[in-house]
Amino acid sequence: MKYPKLFEPANIGSMTLKNRIVLSPLHANFTVCDKYTDRFVKYYEERAKGGAGLIITAHIKAEKDIDPYPKTFGYPIFDSAAEIKYFTDLTETVHKYGTKIAIELSPGTGRIADEPLPDKRPVGPSEIPLLTMPDVKTRELTKDEIKQLVKSYGKAAGLAKAAGFDAIYVHFLAYLGDQFLSSCWNHRQDEYGGSLENRMRFLLECIESVRANVGDDFPLIVGIALDHGFAGGRELEETIEIAKRLEPLNIGALHLRRGSYDAMSLLIPTPYVKDGIAVDYAYEVKKAVNIPIIVDGKLPNAAYCEKLLEEGKTDFVGIARQFVTDPYWPKKAKAGKEDDILPCIRCVQCINRVFFSKSSACSVNPQFGREFEGPLPKTKEPKQVLVAGAGPAGMTVAKFLAERGHSVILAEKSGELGGHLIKAAVPAYKKETAAYLRWLKKQVEENPNVDIRLNTEVTPEFVSSVRPDAVVVCTGSAPYVPAVPGIDRSNVKLATNLLVNYKDEEVGDKIVIVGAGLVGCETALFLKEQGKKDITLVDMLPEVAQDVIYLARLSLLEKLQEEQINSRTGLKLKEIIPEGIIVEDEKGETQTINADTVIIATGLTSDNKLYESLKDEMEEIYAIGDCISPRKFIDAVQEAYAIAKII
Ligand SMILES: Cc1cc2nc3c(=O)[nH]c(=O)nc-3n(C[C@H](O)[C@H](O)[C@H](O)COP(=O)(O)OP(=O)(O)OC[C@H]3O[C@@H](n4cnc5c(N)ncnc54)[C@H](O)[C@@H]3O)c2cc1C
Ligand SMILES: Cc1cc2nc3c(=O)[nH]c(=O)nc-3n(C[C@H](O)[C@H](O)[C@H](O)COP(=O)(O)O)c2cc1C
Ligand code: SF4
């Protein structure tokens, strides 16, 4: 077997897992009226089938009377026996595959409350500002309310045991539990605040209450942050002390992660954050206590996990997003078929959608969240489909159409498959995106139903000669080049060209990048990788990275700052001169920014010429991806899947 440590059975307390792979909690907002539905159960079933040893459910609340928040994430509530049936569906389904399941039980939300209700002020250990609405403060919980929360917590654990869960996961990260533990949020003057002993009282009482309801032998996993990742937050030393105090309590495992809602890029790492971000911190805890640990946070692949286990850095590996993109990654890794694993590109679209009250979706796996629909059915009416353009949209639609039994011509005008994905995958920090490109190419190259034609521009004449039954136009977008004087100078480069031809380009030491959207920012980071030091981003908008989704943007801004990339905003490009660029500010005043090399990253414009010329000629024709308007992988991939279903 390729990864003997990863796939060896191991125990968390009295629970034996078939391997050391843990599906970390991942709330996808697939609930309806705060209940698990078939959509969620099927999502978990697929991951159990795929080989997870343990599934930790997403966040489930133990009560809703004292702390009814958050209102928009759709977290289920397990506060009565009436809920047992929903959860039993889940545990029974997962158990069919020899996978164990723990319930992530939260005692409350505290300062993460959203949408404050007029008659129910959010509560916390103390009066503290809400994360997203600092003007609104939590009300300090009374001691009676704390006792009630503790009681409800234990009751929920008892209900969970009755519903067939194999373990209770005591969720003391980020939410109310963590806020009690941490002096940055807990300012109480009574026995629940002040010293660490007092701040831990709520946790210890919750554990005691769980024990009273599930018994002494029932496995418990405690989830805490290693550090909060901001000045004034908890640091590792105190976490080690917390772990030491938990040691006598027969805890089955500690689930250790870095970060908080105030440092999301540590908790849910982006491409701009290093692999295994929590590993070294977690290892410090492991060395200090005799409790098995689970660590997660961008563990890149099975080989990396195996090494961690071999070196004794962790006892279990927690994986969240890699299970989103490919539920079967454990089985594929075990069989040595790593090339078949669809990698997570760490784009954080999945969590960003949940943050904005939508159900989760993935940039690369359009079947995530649609497991309940089953695999795409084979077509009863095989057609010849011409796919014009082999970017992510074209390759994805070709893959799924071919799998359905259609015969696909995938025509690409350039000599390479990939479209903008090729450029997106160039920087070293985008290695997962490069792996995604390889995966996508493999899907179409190895499918006998896909006839790939490179260096083939689809034109109306080409369509007439092929006479396909249907055409899917995926012609994407082209860089927008501003028509300013000097744009043709030899010191001006297009970011999209530079990324792929860097070795052949002459790039000076003083660089200005015009356009500080995703492409401009990532080009700046790429140039840093190449050793360039003096890089300035210039944009007419008031802030950089405006086209980047919220959670990725936070992380990108941190990275730009760390790499000391300058930015100048509110400045419109007027002219390019031998010494650099002339820009105009909001008041109409001009200034010169000196540079040896000027890089243009002023956005993309959709290329819909082919669609416009064919749409009235063809009976069955679709346009997907950036040729509709320039957007992101998630749009190309989701639209591709939707069309592959209906042809
Ligand atoms: C540098 C860069 C970095 C990016 N990074 C990210 C990122 O990190 N995350 C993210 O989500 N998005 C990113 N994007 C955006 C993302 O790449 C696009 O949203 C995505 O590639 C759109 O896919 P598509 O298939 O619709 O179009 P494209 O990727 O543009 O592909 C279109 C393809 O069609 C071909 N073509 C055009 N006309 C014809 C024709 N007539 N006949 C045959 N072939 C034709 C083109 O040659 C091209 O290969 C990035 C974009 C760029 C430029
Ligand atoms: C969409 C999404 C939802 C998440 N939901 C939860 C949750 O409900 N509870 C929790 O403790 N962690 C949650 N997390 C954090 C993950 O459990 C995990 O710690 C994080 O994604 C890092 O691991 P990864 O790099 O393997 O994805 C979520 C992460 C994502 C991406
Ligand atoms: S949306 Fe992005 S980060 Fe989330 S699982 Fe998919 S590829 Fe990974």
* Mean predicted lDDT score pLDDT of the chain: 97
Residue 406 has pLDDT above 90, yes or no: yes
Alpha helices (H) in 82-191, listed in sequence order: 84-95, 143-162, 176-181
Query: Cis omega before residue 219 (within 30°)?
Result: no
Q: Is the pLDDT of residue 45 over 90?
A: yes
Strand 566-569: give its sheet, edge to edge.
492-494, 597-600, 510-514, 534-539, 566-569
Q: Mutate which of 23, 24, 324, 354 to test ligand 2's pocket (most atoms within 8 Å of Cβ)?
A: 24
Percent of residues in the chain assigned helix, strand, coil, to nearest 5:
35, 20, 45
Domains of the chain, each with CATH number or no CATH: 10-343 (3.20.20.70), 373-479+606-646 (3.40.50.720), 492-602 (3.50.50.60)
Q: State the amino acid at position 17 in one-letter form.
A: L
* Closest listed ligand to the CA of 25: 2
CA dihedral 323, 329, 331, 335 (to 10 degrees): -170
Catalytic residue among 3, 43, 175, 192: 175
Residue 181: count other Cβ atoms within 10 Å of its Cβ.
25
* pLDDT of 595 over the 90 cut: yes
Query: 387 falls in which pLDDT band (50, 70, 90)?
Result: very high
In this prediction, residues 556-568 reach a mean pLDDT of 97
Residue 570 CA, ligand 2 centroid: distance in Å: 36
Q: Is 175 annotated as catalytic?
A: yes
Residue 27 Cβ < 6 Å to ligand 2:
yes
Ligand approaching nearest to the C-alpha of 349: 3
Q: Is the CB of 178 under 6 A from ligand 2?
A: no
List the alpha helices (DSSP H) in 261-328. Answer: 264-267, 279-288, 302-310, 321-325
Binned at pLDDT 50, 70 and 90, residue 115 comes out as: confident
Question: Is 632 near ligand 3, meaning CB less than 6 Å away?
Answer: no
Return the percentage of the chain with pLDDT > 70, whole number: 100
CA–centroid distance, 24 to ligand 2, in Å, is 6
Do residues 317 and 309 touch, judged by C-beta distance below 8 A?
A: yes
| Ligand located closest to 452 CA | 1
Q: How far is the CA of 6 from the centre of ligand 1 (A)?
A: 37
- The answer to whether 316 and 253 are in contact (CB under 8 A) is yes
Q: What is the pLDDT of residue 197?
A: 98
HEC letters along 444-487: HHCCCCEEEECCCCCCHHHHHHHCCCEEEECCCEEECCCCCCCC
Please, which pLDDT band fits residue 116 given cuts at 50, 70 and 90? confident
The model's confidence at residue 118, banded by pLDDT at 50, 70 and 90, is: confident
Confidence band for 345, pLDDT divided at 50, 70 and 90: very high
CB 330 less than 6 A from any atom of ligand 1? no
pLDDT at 429: 96
Q: Is it the case that residue 360 has pLDDT exceeding 90? A: yes
Written as one letter, the residue type at 271 is: P
Residue 446 makes CB contacts below 8 A (sequence gap 6+) with none
Burial class (CB in 10 A: 0-12, 13-18, 19+), 319: buried
Nearest residue CA, atom 12 of ligand 2? 25
Q: Whose CA is nearest to atom 13 of ligand 1?
A: 632
Residue minimizing CA distance to atom 19 of ligand 1: 632
Number of the ligand closest to the Cα of 28: 2
- Distance between CA atoms of residues 611 and 613, nearest Å: 5
- Pocket perturbation via mutation, ligand 1, pick of 410, 440, 494, 632 by most ligand atoms within 8 A of CB: 632
Q: What is the pLDDT of residues 46-78, one digit of tens each?
A: 999 999 999 999 999 999 999 999 988 889 999
End-to-end, the C-alpha distance of the chain in Å comes to 41
Element (H, E) at 584: strand 580-584
Q: What is the pLDDT of residues 608-618, one digit of tens each?
A: 999 999 999 99
Find where tokens 């064919």 sit: 614
How high is the pLDDT of residue 389?
98
The count of residues in the chain is: 647
Res 243 pLDDT > 90: yes
Cα distance between residue 15 and residue 25, in whole Å? 18
Look up residue 124 and give its two tokens: 């916390």
Q: What is the pLDDT at residue 37? A: 87
Sheet with 384-388, strands from edge to edge, namely 450-453, 407-411, 384-388, 470-473, 621-623
Q: 435 alpha carbon to ligand 1 midpoint, in Å? A: 16
From residue 150, how far is each of 189, 202, 478 by CA, in Å?
19, 7, 58
Residue 545 structure tokens: 């990275």
**Mean pLDDT, rounded, for 117-126:** 94
297 C-alpha to center of ligand 2: Å? Answer: 8
Residue 317 has pLDDT above 90, yes or no: yes
Average pLDDT for 369-394: 96
Does residue 638's CB lie within 6 angstroms of at least one atom of ligand 3? no
Nearest CA to ligand 1 atom 49: 419
Locate the ligand 1 atom nearest the alpha carbon of residue 523 and give its number.
Answer: 1
Place of tokens 């418990």: 220
**Of 27-36, 424-433, 565-574, 633-642, which gets the smallest average pLDDT?**
27-36
The pLDDT of residue 35: 85
Beta carbons within 10 angstroms of residue 415's beta carbon: 8
Q: State in Å: Cα 27 to ligand 2 middle.
A: 7
Please identify, by atom number, the ligand 3 atom nearest to the C-alpha of residue 348: 3
Residue 25: the pLDDT is 98
Please name which of 477, 480, 482 lies closest in space to residue 608, comparing C-alpha atoms: 477
